Structure 1
Amino acid sequence: MPKIVDHDQHREQMILDCFELFSKKGFNNVTMREIAAELQVSTGALYHYFPTKQSIFEQMMTYVVDKDLIRLRERLNSTESPEERMIQAGVVIENDKEYYQNILLLALDYFRQQPESETKVMFKAFARHYVEAISYQIDLPEKYSTIIFCWLIGLVYADLLSPTLISGKDQFETVTEIMRAMRMKISTESS
């Protein structure tokens, strides 16, 4: 009897395995042949699922961002206030620091090597998803959530360059205080 393959599940597993490979070597330093070898599939099978290395990367990043947002929502929805959710987000990011650093490095590596217009569209969509999630979770308008998103990217990058330079916990506590003040200001302006 022929083996029944769940192609969606197989593609998902391939994408996850590619994340590890791209994280180790970067986008440009990996060939389709290396990807096939890492995934233990033939190059023909790889091309059946993904026509180009770029399509692998783009599907991988879409998958990673979607799963990350789901995971963050699940972890943050158990807390009551927006301030508690912000502090909890700090715990999540601190615990998964290497993962977020890998996402950032991969995005930068890919951005430098690909046609600007296509890449900007993809990363703009990812940023929009994160900003919307932040806005919802901490109950702030998107213009403020955009600032927090940019700060988060900077925090991940600063920790990558110099892990002892700043305390993530202190940073999240400070931003939570700023966030509280912004929410109070918005509340009084609305009254």
Structure 2
Amino acid sequence: MPKIIDHEEQRAELLDGAFDLFADQGYRAVSMRKLAGSLGVSTGTLYHYFGSKDDIFEQMVERLAQRDIFTAISAIPEDADTRLRLQLIFAWICANQAYLQRVLSLMFDFRRHRSDTAAEHLVEQAAQSYRLAFEEQVRPLGPEAWSLILGMLVGGQLEPGQANELGHLAALEALLASQLTPREA
């Protein structure tokens, strides 16, 4: 009896596995042949599921954003107040700091090697997905909350092994406290 393959599951596994290779070696250094070897499949299998390396990268970025947003937000109770929402988002960021630094580094690397409009759009679209999802959770604080969190990540304030979750959270809360009314806090 022939093996039954769930094509969506196979595609997802390939995309998940591609992240480590892209993050470790950089966008430019990765070829379809390297991807296939790293993933334990033939290049024909990759081309069966994806049109090109760019196609893999684009779908991988979309998948990462969707998965990250779902994971971070699913831990937030629906009845959580703004402060708790912010604390839980920040805790997720701190718990995933090494991974998020890899994602950011990969996106910067991608933009450095691809200066076309499509590459710019992909990076902007991924950043906007994260921003909109997190802003929705802390809406009373406005986009400033997202800007502060992104600035801390990009600025290297949450470097692996260096994060002081309580200290960073206290600083974040102090900066945002003036924007919360007692009802929102």
Please give the TM-score of this superposition, normalised by the length of structure 2. 0.87
Residue range with higher mean Cα deviation, 112-121 or 149-158? 149-158
What is the CA-CA distance between 1:100 and the residue it aligns to? 0.5
Runs (5+) with no aligned partner, structure 2:
none
What is the CA-CA distance between 1:126 and the residue it aligns to? 2.0
Q: Name 1:62's counterpart in structure 2.
A: 62
1:41-78: CA deviation from partner (whole Å, max 9, x where unpaired): 11111111111111111100100000111111111236
Matches of 2:174 and 2:4, distance apart in 1 = 54
Q: Name 1:91's counterpart in structure 2.
A: 91
Q: Which amino acid aligns with 1:55?
A: D
Q: Which amino acid aligns with 2:94?
A: E
From the two aligned structures, give the one with the greater helix fraction.
Answer: 1
Identity of aligned residues (%): 25
3-state secondary structure, aligned to 1:41: coil
Q: Name 1:10's counterpart in structure 2.
A: 10
User: Does the 8 Å contact 2:138/2:145 carry over to 1?
Assistant: no
Q: Which amino acid aligns with 1:15?
A: L
Q: Name 1:129's counterpart in structure 2.
A: 129
Say if 1:162 and 1:5 are closer, same or farther in 2 by CA, change over 3 A: closer
Q: Which amino acid aligns with 1:96?
A: N
Please give the TM-score of this superposition, normalised by the length of structure 1. 0.84
| Aligned-CA RMSD value | 2.3
Residue range with higher mean Cα deviation, 5-14 or 88-97? 88-97
What is the CA-CA distance between 1:137 and the residue it aligns to? 0.9
Residue range with higher mean Cα deviation, 52-61 or 78-87? 78-87
Say if 1:55 and 1:94 are closer, same or farther in 2 by CA, change over 3 A: same
Aligned length, in residue pairs: 182
**1:1-191 map, 5 Å:** 1-77=1-77, 80-140=80-140, 144-145=142-143, 147-157=144-154, 158-159=156-157, 164=162, 167-184=164-181
What is the CA-CA distance between 1:156 and the residue it aligns to? 2.2
User: Does the 8 Å contact 2:76/2:85 carry over to 1?
Assistant: yes
What is the CA-CA distance between 1:168 and the residue it aligns to? 4.1
